[in-house]
Amino acid sequence: MATNSSPGTEANNLRHIDYVKITIFGFGLSAFWSSLHVVIMPLRLLDFVPEALKNTYLDLLILTGLILAMAVQPIAGAISDRSGFRWGRRRPYILAGTILIVLFLPGIGLGGSYAAILIIYCLLQISSNAAQGPFQGFIPDLVPEDRRGLASGVRGLLNLVGGVALIRLIAPFMDRYFTGEGSLWLWLALGAPVIVLLAAMLVTMLTVKERPGTGQTRLPSLSTLYRSFKIDVKARPDFILFLVCCFLIFTAWGTLMAHALYYLMDVADVVGPAEAAGDLLIVVSIGMLASVYPAGRLSDRIGRKPIAISSGLLGALGIAVLFFSQNYMHIMVGGGFLGICGGAWMSTQWALATDLVGRGEEARHLGLVNMSIAGAGVLSRLIGPVIDFFNTYSPNLGYQVMLLICFICLVIGALLLLRVRARVDKPHVLC
């Protein structure tokens, strides 16, 4: 595949398999974190926290980790931008971060208190984002502008498949652990995402060919680290507005994903909540699979914004279905709408992001995009106490409030995109 750090003639010769190579690590990360967030952590925490405050304790845990993610990822991206390793700027950090994840993850099973689980979770976030920040630089490093919609579509597709790949597999393990059948089921649930993440890391290390560095790595000074978070508002108003849109859209998504298992447990009153959450995620993923790749390709032809705006409004329609009916089948239908929305948004969002980033600082700017997404995750985790508060006044009222917040975020986030002017927001002729 191409080795150009600034896409050119060689990059135009990228084969379809090359797009998979440079985005496969996202598959591993998605499989790991989806397994942890959707199924493992919600049930594991019930070993330590009161039932009536489960949303609050879950959100406090993930909120703390996301704050760390917001700090670590742009810094890691900025450091990799200045790295000169002989085997590339990005891959050394991907290797190191993955190894640390493998070392820390057993603590989730061994921890004997909420505080212990919180500490381990934070260490996992630091390790993951130390790898993910540099990983963000692959697409702008190796893919020309008129192919980034395709690359982002492949990335979105792999993230989606990774996100759902293990949920249905490990959900029965966690349901058995939840009903007291032994810790073996917890260890099986923890082992599966680690294996997938290691495999994705190895494929990345062995198949992605970056341009060799000079052998010198310039570690950023404190002022440079400060600038990792700094954006010239006057020079990049569209990038700022895009970050706000990402923040709102992902606040809605993060809120829904964070509380899906408890929502199904309390509102739909299902017997096996982990398996029901797995079924919902499968429905969402089918919708995503139907839209993520075509949306990325289409965005290269007609522009990113029409696809992204439509996806946000369609997601709001899915929220409306959930708001007006708590029937299990209607929840699945709403999940289908949300899946189509999510697939289209994921592919066009990354294409639009790579169009807007500053050249020479791609990983830093994309780290700031992920910082916005992490910030959305922070806000979504503050909704847990809101849910618990309103549920004390009326059964499941808190979940209705949650859905209303998600609806508003999706509509406003989509409509704000109308004001974003992208550098590549016009039709392209692809060969």
SS3 annotation, the chain: CCCCCCCCCHHHHCCHHHHHHHHHHHHHHHHHHHHHHHHHHHHHHHHCCCHHHHHHHHHHHHHHHHHHHHHHHHHHHHHHHCCCCCCCCCHHHHHHHHHHHHHHCHHHHHCCCHHHHHHHHHHHHHHHHHHHHHHCCHHHHHCCHHHHHHHHHHHHHHHHHHHHHCHHHHHHHHHHHHCCCCCHHHHHHHHHHHHHHHHHHHHHHHHCCCCCCCCCCCCCCHHHHHHCCCCCCCCCHHHHHHHHHHHHHHHHHHHHHHCHHHHHHHHHCCCCHHHHHHHHHHHHHHHHHHHHHHHHHHHHHHCHHHHHHHHHHHHHHHHHHHHHCCCHHHHHHHHHHHHHHHHHHHHHHHHHHHHHCCCCCHHHHHHHHHHHHHHHHHHHHHHHHHHHHHHCCCCCHHHHHHHHHHHHHHHHHHHHHHHCCCCCCCCCCCC
User: What CATH number does the domain containing 179 carry?
Assistant: 1.20.1250.20
Q: Residue 95: is its pLDDT beyond 50?
A: yes
What is the pLDDT averaged over residues 378-385? 80
Higher pLDDT, 430 or 110: 110
Q: Residue 265: is its pLDDT beyond 60?
A: yes
362 in a domain, yes or no? yes
The predicted-structure confidence for 59-82, as pLDDT tens digits, reads as follows 888 888 878 877 888 788 878 877
222 in a domain, yes or no? no
Higher pLDDT, 199 or 164: 199
394 in a domain, yes or no? yes
Q: Residue 353: is its pLDDT beyond 70?
A: yes
Confidence of residue 4 (pLDDT cuts 50, 70, 90): very low
Q: Residue 83: is its pLDDT beyond 80?
A: no
- Cα 64 from Cα 60, distance rounded (Å): 6
365 in a domain, yes or no? yes
Averaged confidence pLDDT in the chain: 80
pLDDT of residue 411: 93
Structural domain that includes position 113? 10-211+230-419
Domain count, the chain: 1
pLDDT of residue 428: 37
pLDDT of residue 101: 95
pLDDT of residue 357: 63
245 in a domain, yes or no? yes
The predicted-structure confidence for 279-320, as pLDDT tens digits, reads as follows 887 888 788 778 877 887 787 777 778 888 888 898 898 898
pLDDT of residue 425: 40
Higher pLDDT, 157 or 397: 397
25 in a domain, yes or no? yes
Q: Residue 8: is its pLDDT beyond 50?
A: no
User: Which of the listed ranges 67-81, 159-173, 182-196 does the model predict with the highest average pLDDT?
Assistant: 182-196
427 in a domain, yes or no? no
Residues 6+ apart with CB under 8 A from 182: 176
pLDDT of residue 98: 95
What is the pLDDT averaged over residues 73-92? 80
What is the pLDDT averaged over residues 370-380? 75
What is the pLDDT averaged over residues 190-205? 93
Residues 6+ apart with CB under 8 A from 231: 239, 240, 368
pLDDT of residue 427: 37
The predicted-structure confidence for 103-120, as pLDDT tens digits, reads as follows 999 999 998 899 999 999
pLDDT of residue 361: 56
User: Which of the listed ranges 2-11, 128-137, 234-243, 350-359 does the model predict with the highest average pLDDT?
Assistant: 128-137
The predicted-structure confidence for 124-136, as pLDDT tens digits, reads as follows 999 999 999 888 8
The predicted-structure confidence for 404-426, as pLDDT tens digits, reads as follows 999 999 999 989 888 877 554 44
pLDDT of residue 424: 42
Residues 6+ apart with CB under 8 A from 259: 55, 383, 384, 387, 399, 402
